[in-house]
């Protein structure tokens, strides 16, 4: 895994300083390519081909195409076999497939063929065009800047902050306001007005001659329900996941596994155990028994005879880590499960440089409890007097930060909310009436849509649970879950791979009728049936807990005087100065 930075009309000293901010993403090698018009820098975490041959940026023999890649291309061997008939490869690195794949097939053809997690740049000197691309699910990040005749890009916001200087960048107040709804800043926004997140499954083209930017979606999830019997679906899913796990275990450095004791990570570990006898697993537990899943992780580890490692995260250590969320994310991001994710990453890095995780399983197979809460609330909802909405809104404001406020919020959630507003609430977001003080503080227009990002992906033509999965796949998964895993793992130079998130698995799961994906309404029912033999007895029947800190127990420490943890984070880490 790596970090990339580039800029047009470069100031070399500042460009090199910006690249240095990404050293944690790539501590093993650094490289750069530049001419008077463009600088491209790369920090490398060596995973495949540890030699100098894998150094980036990479160029072809004529230096007509220059690439810098962050990520892994899992099907690189098959693609390389085809490309070797025409091109002379110089390394065993998967990234070189991007170089010659672009030359052979162009950007659209390359992106149709590669399977992996990636964010990369391709500079075509003959066309005087620069391309930036991000994988279909948004596993790997990429930011870009365009203003005042300068175009720049980087793996993390901190690199662009370093190059331009925070004083020269203007904070986007609507982004801060959005954060209170989503617990992250939704794309294409970032903390700053002229810096944008490249969205998943998109590529940007910057024409250096015309100084124009265009944005292209190269893949879209379009659920098309197919007829299939349950037995065939189970076998097909099993084959896809087993194949993905095996492909993602390929590495020239040690590989381990995050193991929470839940269905997703347990399935990944079980699949790995079918092809390897030497597996290292890593778990974080909590002192609070109701939140501690480590005993279940130990049962999975015993079943598959893994070398298992466990550490405990307590409130004191969590509070010590809390200020580092600004360092990891550079902008507001309020998922407190970042704390145990960082700790387990730090723990695993003592022995391995790559881990496989179970992330994506809930969105792809239908496992989140909020799907079924949403269904139950929606089924019982019917028109209520407008005065009830007014009373709950006033009650929340009168008792802000106190127990009665939570009671009014619960009444509101169960009786009044629908659609994207209900979804935002179930994921911990603040509603519009709870943000009035911030609306004034950030000068937000009265007609501003608090839920614009969710509306982009809320498809009422889909069955209800599929609709919510589709929504989360495009919003919560890339912007919360995958962002959290990327930043906290890369903070310790650890590559985290996500075997559930492949194009084939995503498209297959979303092509299934809900009756197949969720037999008898069972969350992740198909996944459980497909891998029942690889799970210890009772694991599949466990109620989902989620990998998060015990907020109910640690409430005072993580909420402070505020009603929501995102309020405290925003005020304490981003508005305090």
* Catalytic residue IDs: 2
Q: How far apart are CA 343 and CA 317, in angstroms?
A: 10
Cα angle value 541/376/432 (rounded, 5°):
120
**Cα separation, 182 vs 480, whole angstroms:** 9
- Distance between CA atoms of residues 139 and 340, nearest Å: 19
Residues 429 and 183 sit within 8 Å (Cβ to Cβ) = yes
Q: How many CB atoms lie within 10 A of CB 388?
A: 13
| Nearest residue to 358 via CA among 279, 263, 459 | 263
| Adjacency order of strands within the sheet including 195-197 | 29-35, 38-44, 2-8, 150-154, 143-147, 195-197
**CA torsion sign, 552 to 555 to 561 to 563?**
negative
Closest by alpha carbon to 41, among 6, 67, 93, 7?
6
Distance CA 20, CA 550 (A): 36
CA atoms of 511 and 375, how far apart (whole Å) = 21
Q: CB–CB of 375/464 below 8 Å? A: yes
What is the β-pairing status of strands 150-154 and 2-8? antiparallel
The H helix count followed by the E strand count for the chain is: 26, 17
Residue 106 burial (10 A CB sphere; 0-12, 13-18, 19+): middle
The residues with which 355 forms a beta bridge, in sequence order, are 256, 496
DSSP 177-236: HHHHHHSBPPTT--SBTTEEEPPTTEEEEEETTTTEEEEEE------------HHHHHHH
DSSP 358-418: -TTHHHHHT--HHHHHHHHHHHH-----HHHHHHHHHHHHHTTTSHHHHHHHHHHHHHT--
């Amino acid at each position: 895994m790596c970090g990339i930075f580039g800029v047009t009309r470069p100031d070399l000293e500042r460009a090199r300083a910006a690249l240095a901010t990404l050293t944690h993403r790539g501590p093993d090698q650094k490289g750069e390519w530049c001419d008077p018009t463009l600088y491209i820098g790369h920090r490398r975490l060596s995973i495949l081909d540890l030699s100098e041959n894998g150094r980036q940026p990479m160029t072809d023999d004529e230096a007509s195409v220059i690439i810098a890649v962050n990520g892994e291309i899992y099907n690189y061997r098959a693609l390389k076999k085809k490309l070797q008939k025409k091109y002379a490869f110089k390394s065993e690195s998967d990234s070189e497939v991007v170089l010659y794949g672009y030359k052979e097939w162009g950007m659209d053809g390359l992106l149709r063929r590669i399977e992996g997690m990636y964010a990369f740049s391709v500079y075509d000197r003959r066309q005087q065009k620069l391309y930036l691309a991000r994988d279909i699910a948004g596993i790997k990040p990429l930011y870009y800047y365009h203003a005042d005749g300068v175009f720049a890009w980087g793996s993390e916001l901190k690199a662009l902050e370093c190059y331009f200087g925070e004083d020269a960048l203007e904070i986007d107040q609507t982004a801060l306001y959005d954060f209170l709804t989503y617990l992250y800043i939704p794309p294409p926004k970032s903390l700053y007005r002229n810096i944008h997140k490249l969205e998943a499954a998109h590529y940007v083209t910057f024409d250096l001659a015309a100084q124009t930017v265009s944005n292209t979606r190269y893949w879209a999830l379009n659920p098309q329900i197919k007829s299939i019997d349950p037995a065939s679906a189970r076998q097909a899913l099993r084959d896809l996941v087993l194949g993905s796990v095996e492909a993602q275990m390929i590495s020239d450095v040690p590989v381990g596994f995050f193991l929470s004791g839940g269905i997703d990570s347990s399935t990944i570990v079980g699949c790995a155990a079918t092809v390897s006898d030497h597996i290292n697993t890593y778990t974080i537990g909590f002192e609070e028994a109701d939140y501690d899943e480590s005993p279940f992780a130990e049962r999975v580890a015993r079943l598959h005879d893994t070398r298992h490692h466990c550490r405990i995260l307590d409130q004191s250590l969590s509070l010590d880590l809390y200020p580092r969320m600004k360092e990891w994310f550079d902008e507001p991001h309020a998922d407190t499960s970042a704390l145990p994710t960082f700790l387990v990453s730090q723990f695993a890095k003592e022995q391995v440089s790559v881990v496989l995780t179970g992330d994506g399983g809930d969105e792809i197979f239908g496992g989140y409890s909020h799907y079924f809460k949403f269904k139950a609330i929606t089924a019982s909802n019917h028109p209520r007097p407008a005065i009830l909405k007014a009373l709950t809104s006033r009650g929340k404001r009168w008792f802000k930060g106190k127990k009665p406020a939570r009671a009014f919020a619960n009444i509101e959630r169960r009786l009044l909310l629908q659609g994207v507003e209900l979804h935002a609430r179930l994921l911990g977001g603040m509603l519009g009436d709870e943000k009035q003080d911030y609306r004034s503080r950030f000068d937000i227009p009265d007609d501003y849509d608090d839920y614009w990002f969710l509306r982009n992906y809320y498809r009422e033509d889909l069955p209800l649970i599929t609709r919510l999965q589709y929504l989360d796949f495009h919003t919560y998964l890339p912007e919360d879950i995958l962002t959290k895993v990327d930043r906290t793992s890369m903070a310790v130079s650890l590559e985290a791979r996500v075997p559930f998130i492949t194009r084939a698995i995503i498209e297959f799961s979303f092509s299934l009728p809900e009756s197949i994906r969720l037999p008898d309404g069972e969350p992740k029912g198909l996944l459980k049936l497909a891998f029942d033999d690889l799970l210890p007895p009772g694991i599949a029947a466990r109620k989902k807990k989620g990998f998060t800190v015990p907020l109910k127990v640690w409430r005072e420490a993580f909420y402070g005087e505020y009603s929501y943890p995102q309020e405290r984070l925003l005020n304490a880490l981003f508005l305090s100065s």
